[in-house]
Structure 1
């Protein structure tokens, strides 16, 4: 950290959000000797990477190692075990019940992480240098004000307590649309950049993900089914085997969208179990499928730090990696997160953004420090 700023207690960077892009960014900056504070609005870290205690992911879950080398390499460095996505047996199409060989719910070559990607983010957080990186949860950022030589960030806790954080830079890792609608930028974002941020759909933002936990993988005992279902009937649109058989953990996971997801959100646990069990019985041609021993769900559309409603005047696009999404604002405010990279919204995109923004911030800080040194030399 620059000596003058260390004396003043100013951070090198305030990072908004504590998802995987934020954590990797903080790790890399701290390895460069930078002092970082992470502000997260939720009561937990991980962002859209969250898992149950058993390791069932309620957010992102898959990796394709041949294509996603940053994620697979990070998991290896952190000592996270991986295993293939189960795909043994036949998948089912609804309606009609047509069966066909299952190539994996996520396609050939997909793997999952033991303990879930939510567990990976926790492990990554544990590696951070506590002398240089501090994480605060329950701190929803409401304002980012860029001054001549620093950035002032204002956050508010759930109890209404406001705090201010001064840094040389700020890195926004919240989804672009959420950042553009919930944070007051001063000076304001330029029109083109703000519209680009507002038009980008948040990855998984309108998705409901449900995990049904069982005592056995009972679906494989019926007609050699894999557990995969592709349904045009609903309320679950895609179902797959979410088990970790080596750990004796058995589950089905599923996505639900639009009106079906809204319907499921309004059900209590008993109603949800009955409705979903009815669909599974129909899809697998089983008259009395067992009820799940537990149901876990994440309705991402209800999370204000994930989802913001698109403005009616702008298109709702998935133009991830648009150059305006990674363009610094007023020199000292930077942007990261999976939507800022052209990689289909995957976790790999979030990690790529962390590598890119770290280089951007470090270059800015060095330039600022060199200018300060030159100025002092000229006046001495």
Structure 2
């Protein structure tokens, strides 16, 4: 929805399709009988570490308040004993909540969109690359609907794409594997929020935060879910039971959850108003792999293969799990939207990757040549990462064990620099009025400028790829490169960039010298 809003602001033509009969996906807020908003999906945002989401909330003018953390934290370690108070820093570390629930964010974004552009109850079944456009086939309750578009953005978890969507032609193996390995954040979890007549725990000096770690734990983590003033009271919690156990105890689960709240906070919490959501049962949230695979260590940086434009830029993966930062979180969703927004804007100006022949005849004028060159360099991001991946895989195949990332990243950037010299040589520059100071052409800053983003992008993608690569898990220095190792890689790339800059400057000076050579005429 963030991407749809940006397209709306730019005057773009778009349509938004949602499989459910509501917007928001994992964002879901219920209402208690007293009118209190109860978040059954994402609940918090952190201004210090989530600037994109915070900026969007500010832009939309949404009210928010600090998560209540003051008071005693409880820890229930044994099933037949009382909970113990624990000391420590605030549990939620500066978290804030939206007044009225996180669904207010979805509602505010939806209000900015034309109603005719939103299509609920459309489940994507197939997507076909038709060369100049894509065709999307949706299933509704009554019929199959075919839509054609210049480009498509699939803003749902990659594993759900594997479960539900057919791609024609099939995606390449590396992209498919990256999708398969992208765990859907919180997909197999369940959450309960229980409303009460008043915040009895606050009256006792308790924060509402509690942890239950014994083997029979029903709710593993609990927090205060009251409104800003605490007048309308609730506690929220994440279930400790795995999906199969929740299913087995389905009938008795409300009683078990109620009993645990009483054990923690006292008899006053008996019989609260329960609102429960098991995300593992949601077919549009939890994939088969998410449900059956034990939850691993969550990585906030997704495999960069998920951020590549597919089918010559006609298809983009845009779910929160594809983000380069805060993958899986709402911040990651906004991060992914901004990435695709920039990609769509570039698509109108970038030349086809690798096209060099005859450009001297097509592009004339220094400003036009520099702009074309900058677009060409920007278009090398994916090519550079592909080259890095191939070099890394070749090194692994030949059982090389030292400096894998360093050599692959350097080789990939050197290849880009070599191709860039060919492009510069083919471009037309009028050097007659271009200043040269201390042997350096005045055009050089513009020649060098676009490489900064490409070099940083390659390094970021290489590190993210390494962290998500099973093949590198046996190479700890490569799997999670140290700060010193990254600095060494940067120094190598910087040296190669300097060599390119010197060669590019010599090429421009030679072009100028050629223009100044007297023309001889023979009879």
Tell me the TM-score normalised to structure 1 length.
Answer: 0.83
Identify if the C-alpha distance between structure 1 residues 357 and 228 changes in structure 2 by more than 3 Å, giving closer, same or farther: same
Which of these residues, 232, 254, 260, is aligned with residue 279 of structure 1? 260
Cα deviation for residue 81 of structure 1 reads 0.6
The corresponding residue for 2:163 is 181
What are the residue-to-residue correspondences of 1:268-307 with 2, within 5 Å?
268=251, 271-284=252-265, 286-287=266-267, 289-292=269-272, 294-307=273-286
Helix, strand or coil: the match of 1:328? coil
1:42 aligns with 2:20: yes
Give the corresponding residue for 2:147: 165
Deviations 1:80-138 (A, max 9, x none): 11111011211111215221246444x221111001111111111101245xx701111
- How far apart, in 2, do the equivalents of 1:148 and 1:364 lie? 16
1:287 and 1:139 map into 2 onto residues whose CA distance is 46
Task: Map Cα deviations across residues 216-241 of structure 1 (whole Å, 9 max, x no partner).
Answer: 0012233x211111111310010010
| 3-state SS of 2:274 partner | strand
Aligned to 2:103: 118
Distance change in 2, residues 1:143/1:101 (3 Å) = same
Give the superposition deviation at 1:337: 1.9
* Pairing of 1:324-339 with structure 2 (within 5 A): 324-331=305-312, 332-339=314-321
Residues 1:98 and 2:98 aligned together: no
Are residue 151 (structure 1) and residue 134 (structure 2) matched? yes
CA distance, structure 1, for counterparts of residue 164 and residue 54 of structure 2: 33
Q: Is the 8 A contact 1:93 1:230 kept in 2?
A: yes
Distance of 1:273 and 1:241 partners within structure 2: 19
Q: How does 1:184-263 map to 2 (within 5 A)?
A: 184-222=166-204, 224-233=205-214, 234-246=217-229, 248-259=231-242, 262-263=245-246
Residue deviations 1:163-211 (CA, integer Å, cap 9, x gap): 0111000001110100122110111110110011011110110110110
RMSD: 2.6
In the TM superposition, 1:118-137 aligns within 5 A as 118-129=103-114, 134-137=117-120
Contact 2:38 2:193 in 1 (8 A): yes
**Mapped contact 2:199–2:230 kept (Cα < 8 A):** no
Q: TM-score, normalised by structure 2?
A: 0.61
Deviation at 1:243, TM superposition (A): 0.5
Unmatched tracts of structure 1, length 5 or more:
1-22, 370-377
Tell whether the 8 Å contact from 1:241 to 1:251 is kept in structure 2 after alignment: yes
Deviations 1:312-336 (A, max 9, x none): 8999674442101111221210011
The answer on 1:24 being equivalent to 2:2 is yes
Q: Does 1:323 align with 2:309?
A: no
Distance (Å, rounded) in 1 between the aligned partners of 2:176 and 2:22: 28
For the residue of structure 2 that corresponds to 1:205, the secondary structure is: coil
Q: Which structure's relative contact order is higher, taking Cα pairs within 8 Å and 6+ residues apart? A: 1
**Structure 2 vs 1, CA of residues 113 and 264 (structure 1 numbering), >3 Å: closer, same or farther?**
farther
3-state SS of 1:297 partner:
strand
Compute the displacement of 1:258 (Å). Answer: 4.4
SS of alignment partner, residue 150 of structure 2: strand
Q: Indicate the SS of the match to 1:329.
A: coil
Aligned equivalent of 2:467: none
Using the TM superposition, give the Cα deviation of residue 257 of structure 1 relative to its aligned residue in structure 2, in angstroms.
4.0
Following superposition, the deviation at residue 52 of structure 1 comes to: 1.3
Displacement, 1:149? 0.6
Distance 2:167 2:263 in 1: 51
Distance 1:75 1:66 in 2: 14
Secondary structure of 2:16 counterpart? strand
Instruction: Please name the residue that 2:495 is paired with.
Output: none
Whether the 8 Å CA contact 1:206–1:257 is kept in 2: the answer is no
**Which of these residues, 139, 159, 165, is aligned with residue 122 of structure 2?**
139
Of 304-313 and 30-39, the range deviating more from structure 2: 304-313
Deviations 1:328-359 (CA, angstroms, capped at 9, x unpaired): 22121001121111315221111011000111
Distance 1:317 1:328, change over 3 A: farther
What's the CA shift for 1:70?
1.5
Higher strand share: 1
CA distance, structure 2, for counterparts of residue 77 and residue 67 of structure 1: 17
* SS of residue matched to 1:141: strand
Decide which structure has the larger Cα Rg and report it: 2
Give aligned pairs, total.
340
Q: How far apart are the structure 1 equivalents of 2:335 and 2:268?
A: 46
Matches within 5 A, 1:47-62: 47-53=25-31, 54-62=36-44
Q: Is the CA contact 1:172–1:335 (under 8 Å) kept in the aligned structure 2?
A: yes
Q: Is the 8 A contact 1:337 1:353 kept in 2?
A: yes
The aligned counterpart of 2:405 is none
Distance in 2, Cα, partners of 1:276 & 1:211: 10
